[in-house]
A and B are shown apart, each in its own frame.
Chain A
């Protein structure tokens, strides 16, 4: 017993302190004496309880402190830290009276490694998606060339929605735009997005989905890195264009979508054809249609002309054949000519008047007549022999 220690000055009015009194006093002293502070250390003995609270130890070479991070605080983090991870915690030192334990109540936790917890969570979810083949490029579907009904899954009052409506409305007012409103950041936003995507699956006649939001901090964009959101996007029955944040932000939602656009405006642009272009295409088809019919009737006329030629040819050939027949006929007629008979040695007798003398009675005695033989006339006279 040291000389400076007055044993009885430490007696409480009741005689002795209770355990609870001591721990309460200790807690008041610790909380009063140590403001909330950032502490650096390594995670060990991490355990997430059913309640959602996290318990772990933070240590360095020389010491360790028990830590708790309640569910209301840890739900903002992308994932639970693994043992061995170097972290900064923002914490309030306290005494846990029930166990008489000095500990830190952690309000925030950051990995000291590049990208830290966010990167860890991202890689973990990405690996899970890849394992199920959801990142396979072969899964990517072509966008419909002329979408008539497009669902827009985004915040109803964000700049992203205004941009998409402006661009799609200018390029392709033919399409009906269906806004499926959802919060895109903050606690529970991922649940809302999943619900909105579930609703999208039930819209009839849908051609295309655009999902996205404008730029924001990594925490703001994180909703689109939730594995559940990515899976809901991958499960959509129609092609999806994803545009989350700016060019440099790539989320899991972007990776599973059929097309990733750098911005919401660009998403609307790649999702729609330009009406002017399509009208020009129609005009071109019209010209081809008319030209094709013209060409075809031209060919028809040609065929008719060829047919006509063949017909006249046939007629001519036919006439020619008939000509030969006529010539033959003429030959036959010629053969019947009396002159031909004279050729064969017959003669025709005619009187002075040229009448043909065919009967004996016509040849009266002394009647002069002429005999026509094949090469001329001879004078003759009938007489008694």
Chain B
């Protein structure tokens, strides 16, 4: 089983939403330098999220258990 991304897609979108909201807020504690950093992170996360969506190719696998109770994942031909 492939290791999971450290940030799930949903978390990534949440972070993106948070960045946009902080930039949109009137919070003047965020100085221009920080705002630029947030913007850069936002752009990066947008790019990643978009890649995750567009690069994906529908994958169908099947999970089979053997007598010992171990299970393996194989490609599934629908």
- On A, residues with C-beta under 8 Å from B are 144-146, 148, 151, 156, 161-162, 165, 168-169, 173-181, 195, 199-200, 202-205, 275, 278-279, 281-282, 285-286, 288-289, 291-293, 295-297, 300
Contact = CB atoms under 8 A, between A and B. Distances in A.
Given A148-B8, A289-B42, A289-B43, A279 B53 contact: yes
What bracket does the count of chain B residues touching chain A fall in? 35 or more
B32 interface: yes
A144 B11 CA distance: 11
A54 B76 CA distance: 44
A94 B66 CA distance: 46
B63 A173 contact: no
18 contacts: A145-B10, A146-B10, A165-B58, A168-B58, A174-B52, A177-B59, A177-B60, A179-B60, A179-B76, A180-B62, A180-B63, A195-B65, A275-B53, A285-B42, A289-B46, A296-B30, A296-B32, A297-B35
A178 B63 contact: yes
A214 B52 CA distance: 32
B42 to A, nearest CB: 5
Interface string B28-51: 001010011001001100100110
Nearest to B30: A296
**Quick one: which of A146, A175, A204 has the most chain B CB within 10 A?**
A146
Contact of B35 (A176, A195, A279, A293): A293
Contacts of B63: 151, 178-180, 199-200, 203
Contact of A178 (B17, B56, B61): B61
A48 to B, nearest CB: 32
B62 A289 contact: no
A163 to B, nearest CB: 11
Given A148-B8, A162-B78, A205-B1, A173 B57 contact: yes
Contact of A202 (B10, B13, B16, B71): B71
B68 interface: no
A162 B23 CA distance: 45
Instruction: For the complex of A and B, list the 6 residue pairs with the smallest distance between their C-beta atoms, beginning with the closest.
Output: A292-B23, A173-B58, A169-B58, A174-B56, A179-B62, A292-B24
B61 A282 contact: no
Nearest to B38: A293
Contacts of B76: 156, 177, 179
A296 B35 contact: yes
Contacts of A300: 32, 35
Contacts of A148: 8-9
